Every structure is written in C-alpha cells, then in structure tokens.
Chain A
Amino acid sequence: MSDKDMREVYTETLIEMAGTDERICVLEADLMRATGTGSFKDKFPERAFNVGVAEANMVGVASGLSAGGKIPWAATFGCFAARRTYDQFFISANYAQQNVKLVGTDPGVTAAFNGGTHMPFEDTGLMRCIPGLVIFEPCDSVSLKSLIKQATEHKGSTYMRLQRKGKYTLYSDTDEVILGKGNVLKEGDDLTIIASGYVMVPETLAAADLLIEEGIKARVIDMHTVKPLDRKLVVESAEKTGAILVCENHQKAGGLFSAVSECLGEEFPVPVAAVAVEDQFGQVGTLEYLKEAYGFTKENIVKKAKELMGRK
C-alpha cells in the first residue's frame, strides 16, 4: 500500500521531472487545491499557470505553450476536461499536433459527492474519437509515476484519467509498466478479465480470487492504456481463454469495452461481456453506494464472469 494519495504522486512526479526539464509546465483551472499542484507552484512559480474557472481557455493556452516548445500538463475534473474543452483539445492541441498532456481527474463513480453533473462516464469514449491521441488510466501509484514519465517523453498529446484521492500500490518499483502494453496480473485458462483504473483493477483481482474458489481460473489484465490498445495481448487472451470480460469505471459505449470489442470483432471473435455503466447518467452518493448502484463489485464481476462462461 502506498503512503501517498495518487494526486501527491502526480505532483511529485512532475516536480521531479521539471527539475531537469525546463519545458515542463503545469496548468490549472481553479482546481490547484484539488489536484494538489500547489507544491509545484511553490517550487516553480514561473511555470505554474492558474487560468481561473476557464477550462477551454486553459487547453488553448496549453496548446500555445506547446507551440512555443513547452510540455504543458493541464488538469481539471474529467467531466470538464473531456466535455467542456473537447473542441479546444481536438483542434488547438491534437489537430495542430501539439504536445498537450491533459488530465481528467475523478473518473466515473469517484466523482462521488459531486454527483451526476460531474461524473464522467463518457470521457474515454469522447477521447478515443480523437485521431492519434494516447489515452491511459493508471490504477496505482507506481504505474501512475511511470506512465506520467512516459507520456511526457511521448511526442504528441495524451489524456490521462487520474484518480486523485486514495492510496494504492499494486506494482513494485521493479515491475515494468509500459505505455501501450497491458500487464498480465494473474494467469488463467478459463476466461480473461481485462480491467482498468483505480476502482476496477483491485475489484477484479478480488473477484478472480472468488472465482478460483468456484474452480474458475481467470486471466486478469491491467489495461492501463486504452489507446493505442494492446491488440496483441487482447487477441492472445481470446485465443487462450475463449472469452473476455471487460471491467471499467465508464459507460459501455466508447470506452475500454468498445475498444476490446472492436479489436475482437476484427481479429478473433469470442464471447465478450462488460462490467460497466449502461446507457445511464451518473448520480450522487458515497463511492461504496455508487459501486453497488452500477455493479462495480467483486460479486457482480463474479456473476458476469459465470454468465460469460456459459456462452463459451
């Protein structure tokens, strides 16, 4: 278990990189306290820009900073990052081939007490429609740090779904977490469960343990990079286990389930199912309440896995 919240790791990683790379800048839209980048501003005041409550402008400014040779990391709640700045991120950042690292925090049900207005169940889907964009969602502090560094080195824009609060360590410092490559967390022959993010990866690992008690061995994958999808691993898993369950803190349309389904449809059709939000809006509540409400529990993952086994 990490001793730090994910957002602390985010800021610390940026500070660490900014010490040796003068191109790195941080942008905020009045959520510096929420994102925790205040310490970056303390250390590098000239490279931290708070543009106020103006997310579209923030992404435009980030695009200009990139056109001037900088590497801007811009963060806001995922709902605003994806929905409010979509055209700015599409045109000024991506179409213009700029190097903007956009961060959408509080993905899916983790928006909890901010409720339905702030609950992004569609951000990955929207972002997947932007040609060439790299999209990733780290589940723990080690992968977060590693993927931020790789995204910074990547030439082009990226979108990261960031869990702000919560401490979780899955990987050790010697594990490799490579942008664009899924990680096999457990081996199994009966079905594959592909999960992403802070909410679903731990829940899926717990579900896999329950499945073993019932004699079902699941192969579990952390698919931290949604785009470009690790198609090789998806197809290999389909060949090996004959069925794939996708677990994501997002609606079914457009996200990881869609990406995996598209890949399987084209390359190796097998039965596929999802633990994901149906055609629904978000709502307010505790994280535990919302996980129950949308079926993001190990029990529901087990239920869906068993149903899927029946379709093999």
Chain B
Amino acid sequence: MSENNYKDLEDLAKDIRKKTIDSIGFLGVGHIGGAMSITDLLTILYYRKMHIDPDNPKMADRDKLVLSKGHAGPALYSTLAQKGFFPEEWLHTLNQGGTNLPSHCDMNRTPGIDMTTGSLGQGLSSAIGLTLAMKLDKSERNVFAIIGDGESQEGQNWEAAMTASQFKLNKLIAFTDYNKMQIDGYTSDIMSIDDPEAKWKAFGWNTDRVNGHSFAELDRAIDKARQSVDKPTMIIMDTIKGKGCSFAEGVITNHNMAFTYEQAKEAIEALD
C-alpha cells in the first residue's frame, strides 16, 4: 500500500494539529509537546480503526480508548471535535473554569472520553478492566491504550503488563508514545526506559515498533495486533515531541509551555 492511500489522513491530522495549537494558544499555555506527538495515531484510530458513533458516544459495543497520558487531552479533544462528538467552539474553552475540556481527560465531562486519566501510570490498569468487561460481555471490540514514555517509569504499568498477558487479553492494543522526552529533560538522562520493545516482550506481550508519524506503519501494526489470539500488543511508536508545531517541535521544554496567540497563528500558517 503506498503512502498516497493516506492523503486523507494526512489532511485530517493537519487539521487536528491546527485545532490543537489553536486551542492551547487561545489560552496561552498548555501541554503542546505530548499532544502533537500522538496526533497521527489519534487520526488513524478515530478515522480508520475504531468502531464509534459521534452521535452516540456511549453506544454499546464500541471500541474504547484510554489516553493514560491524560495531559495530551487537547489532541484528543481536537480529534473528537473534528469527528463531531461536540461543537468545535468548545475547543476555545480548554482549561477555562467550568469547561467540558479539562487539562486531563475526564469521562464525565467530555463526550467521547472513555476513561478518566491524568495521574500517570493508572490508565493501562483501567484499560485492562475495560477489556475484561468486554470479554465478559462477549464483545469482539478492541480497547486501545496510549501511555507515555516518561509515564512508563511508573511501576503500576509493569503490574498491568503482567496482568494483561496473564489474562491473555488479545483485544488490548497499547501504544507507547516514545518521544524520548519528559518534563525535566531527555528520558535517557533522567530514567531510561531503553529498550522498551524488549521490556514489553519480556512481560509476555506481542510487540511492534513503528514510526509514529507514518500512517502506513501504524496501519500495518494495528491490523497485525488485531490478529493476535492470546496476547496483548504493545506498539512502540518513535515520535517527535511537539511534531508539526514550528516553535515547539523537538524543543526540550515543550512539555507544558506558554506561547502567544500570535505564535499559535504563525505555527498554524506554517502547517499549510
């Protein structure tokens, strides 16, 4: 399959990036880095892979997503708004008092959010519970989970890693956003998670490693993960923190940064 088959996704991802920069820029501060690094994954999941209905966010027997790195909520909000889960005007309320779009994902506030997250390390355990519930309901759907690389330093992930393989949760497909940066610097300098693929494999998971900004590679890896009969899958995505935001891409301080709405507009124009 050639890259041309993903032209629509490229356009959609570009729009989601623009909306994300705009929503954070409208407020003037936010988690831009880790939002931009998972935008391509969210695009392919919500536009090609997930069985969902924007008009019926709580539809029974849908695929579910747990964004364990809950601070990347703004990228998910932009995706959900673009899909029609809620009005795009909401994006300008990000992190304002009384908003439905809080900094970290909240299933009770935002249509389309399947699990509340934000305290790092907890999402994968919740995703396991969701997968077990689906199994009890004899559902054939998938649960997708996205964890951060810095977040992988939380020990609870490794408790969850053992549990998912012990329970043979083949419907659980997880991704590590391996952008190699965390708040205080490079992950390798602070607390290395090298070589993540070997680690997950050692815990009994199928693993894969892809360029997290290549739709072709993501497409192939997700389809392969869906074929698993007795193991959960961890797809390690090599990504660039801040990808596509001109002033933030690859900048070590981009985890949570302040910028002006003028800067946001310039970055949005640069995407065209």
Contacts and interface: CB of A to CB of B under 8 A. Distances in A.
B136 A57 contact: no
A88 interface: yes
B126 A67 contact: yes
B262 interface: no
A68 B125 contact: no
B47 to A, nearest CB: 24
A185 interface: no
B156 A49 contact: no
Given A51-B163, A67-B107, A95-B116, A61 B156 contact: no
B119 A65 contact: no
Contacts of A66: 129
Contacts of A46: 136
Contact of A56 (B115, B132, B159, B167): B159
Interface residues on A, range: 20 to 34
Given A51-B163, A57-B163, A87 B130 contact: no
A88 to B, nearest CB: 6
B167 A63 contact: no
A54 interface: yes
B258 interface: no
Interface in B146-175: 156, 159-160, 162-163, 166-167
A202 B162 CA distance: 44
B40 interface: no
Question: Interface SS of chain B: helix, strand, loop or mixed?
Answer: helix
A70 B133 contact: yes
Contact of A64 (B115, B118, B159, B166): B115
B114 interface: yes
A92 interface: yes
B127 interface: yes
A221 interface: no
Contacts of A54: 156, 159, 162-163
Nearest to B127: A64
Contacts of A67: 107, 114-115, 126, 129-130, 133
Nearest to B160: A57
Contacts of B66: 64
Contact of A57 (B114, B119, B159): B159
B163 A61 contact: yes
A66 B126 CA distance: 9
A96 B136 contact: no
B119 A68 contact: no
A65 B129 contact: yes
B254 to A, nearest CB: 25
B192 interface: no
Contacts of A62: 129
B39 interface: no
B8 interface: no
A45 to B, nearest CB: 12
Given A60-B129, A67-B126, 4 more contacts: A56-B125, A64-B133, A68-B132, A70-B129
Interface of B: 66, 106-108, 114-116, 118-119, 122, 124-134, 136-137, 156, 159-160, 162-163, 166-167
9 contacts: A51-B159, A56-B122, A64-B133, A65-B129, A67-B115, A68-B133, A68-B137, A92-B119, A92-B125
- 6 smallest A-B Cβ distances: which pairs? A64-B129, A68-B133, A60-B125, A96-B116, A57-B159, A54-B159
